[in-house]
Amino acid sequence: MNLQNMLKELPVIQSEDYVKVDGEYQWVPIQIKPEAWVNDGQLHVSGESGDGLVDYYGHEFNDYDSYIHPDLEAWAEKHGCFWEWNNPGSICLAEA
């Protein structure tokens, strides 16, 4: 598993953001590239970048369960891997 190549191949996540456009707030499409790095032979994705792709503590909408964006989950499965929590601030890729 070449982690540097996999880092480059992480999916760009399609999402929406509520921003002010021409004086009015509206939902606009955005693309989010996960904040990620390779360290100690592991590929990590941040849960502290504020993009909402990874959240250890969860939110009310999901009964406060830990959350990993489904596109990241699907990407890991496609590569025969899964995500593990490294700590509450990041996940790391693990081989299945």
Contacts of 92 (CB under 8 A, 6+ apart): 42, 43, 44, 45, 83, 84, 86
Q: Quick: pLDDT tens for 40-84.
A: 999 999 999 989 899 998 877 678 789 999 999 999 999 999 999
Q: Is the model's pLDDT at 26 over the cut of 80?
A: yes
Q: What local confidence, expressed as pLDDT, does residue 61 receive?
A: 65
CA angle 86, 63, 37 (to 5 degrees): 25
Percent of the chain whose predicted confidence (pLDDT) is above 90 = 86
